[in-house]
Structure 1
Amino acid sequence: MAHVPTEVRRQQFIEAAIEVIAREGADGATTRKIAEAAGAPLATLHYCFQTKENLLWAIFEHLHQIVQADLEAAVPDARPAADIAADLLNGTMRRAASEPAANRAQVEIWLWAERNDPAMAVKQYDTYLQAWMGFLRAATPPLPEERLETVVRVIFGLIDGLNMQLITHGDEEMILRETATATAMLTAYLGD
């Protein structure tokens, strides 16, 4: 059997874990099931990540990087805050609808972290909070700094609610209509 480079194997484990977590939840996604789904030895998974927690963090980072790259490409700066916020909300929900396994896995990892490693849950949330505040800091005219974090947290609240509906019902058309409504409300608020 040919040797598989560690970075390639790590990516295989991450991709397999996303599918297993989406199907069975973070608690049900044992390292054995993930290794089987990746078609690799369990010992190799432990060599690559040492612990399940490290694997979950690697999945979070992987998914965050994808979302961040998508948003950087879709959210030009030097525009009104309402336009940037709308792009963030729409872009996130379109990705969630088009990548249901990744979306569900990310939610499952957040819930697992909240129950088992609250510091990890806070770190995940803060990673997105800082990134999105960065997007909105580029608005013209800029939002006052004391308002910025609140606006991002409200956007997160909208996304969290829409995500729960998407996961529960799986109706992509409905969620995109509801995202449009949430976007209209958000832009009306920020447009003042």
Structure 2
Amino acid sequence: MAYVSAEARREQLIEAAVRVIAREGADGATTRKIADEAKAPLASLHYCFQNKENLLLAVFAQLSEEMPVSADLSEAEDASLGHALELCLTGAMRWSVENPVRARAMIEVTLWAERYDPELSVGFYATFLRSSEAILSQVDVPLSGEELQSVLRVTMGLVDGLSLQLFSDGDKERTLRDTATACAMLKAFLNESARETA
């Protein structure tokens, strides 16, 4: 049997966990099933991650790095908050459409955290909120801090809801059309808020 470095084995196990979690849910993704999917000894999973919880955290970290939740507006003609949120929402949903197994695993791990460690689940969402700071530094934000946080949470809720619809009906084109509708609604809300504060 060929030698596999610990780092390569970690990557194999994370990828296997993504597939098993997407197929069977986080609760159904036992360490044995994940090791079998990776064609790796169960002992190597415990060596690399110690336990299932650490592996699920590694899955979340990997997927959250992959999902595009920011946008570079440095050369954009429209550097408004609405346009920034549109780029982020569209990017996240295109990623979900192109990577349905990975998107499903992300949702499953988030639901697992909510069931077993609600504080951790809150931390997962805080990670996405922090990632939006890079976008917000590029735009003029016409909202108070509380209003902005609400808009960001609603945007994350749109990603979750649109992803769940994608998983249930599998209609990728409809998901992208619905994403465009959601973006238009967000921009209309922001335009109305701007008029009210003017």
| Bucket of the pairwise TM-score, normalised by the shorter protein | over 0.9
- What is the CA deviation profile of residues 117-155 of structure 1, one whole-angstrom value per residue up to 9, with x for unaligned ones? 112111111111111244223213564433221110110
Counterpart residue type for residue 72 of structure 2: V
Alignment of 1:172-183 (within 5 A): 172-183=172-183
Counterpart residue type for residue 75 of structure 1: D
Question: Greater share of helix residues, 1 or 2?
Answer: 1
State the partner residue of 1:5.
Answer: 5
Structure 1 stretches of 4+ with a deviation exceeding 6 A read: none
Alignment of 1:33-182 (within 5 A): 33-67=33-67, 70-72=68-70, 74-77=71-74, 79-140=79-140, 143-182=143-182
CA contact (8 A) 1:22 1:108 kept: yes
TM-score, with structure 2 as normaliser? 0.89
Q: 2-side partners of 1:32 and 1:109: how far apart?
A: 18
- What is the CA deviation profile of residues 45-98 of structure 1, one whole-angstrom value per residue up to 9, with x for unaligned ones? 01000011100000000011112xx444x4325811011000011001110011
Q: 2-side partners of 1:75 and 1:92: how far apart?
A: 14
TM-score, with structure 1 as normaliser? 0.92
| Secondary structure class of the residue paired with 1:173 | helix
Counterpart residue type for residue 4 of structure 1: V
Unpaired runs of 5+ residues, structure 1, are none
Q: How many residues are paired up?
A: 189
Q: Which has the larger radius of gyration?
A: 2
Of the structure 1 ranges 77-86 and 30-39, higher mean CA displacement relative to structure 2 is found in 77-86
Unpaired runs of 5+ residues, structure 2, are none
Q: How far is the alpha carbon of 1:113 from its aligned partner?
A: 0.8
CA RMSD of aligned residues (A): 1.6
Counterpart residue type for residue 12 of structure 2: Q
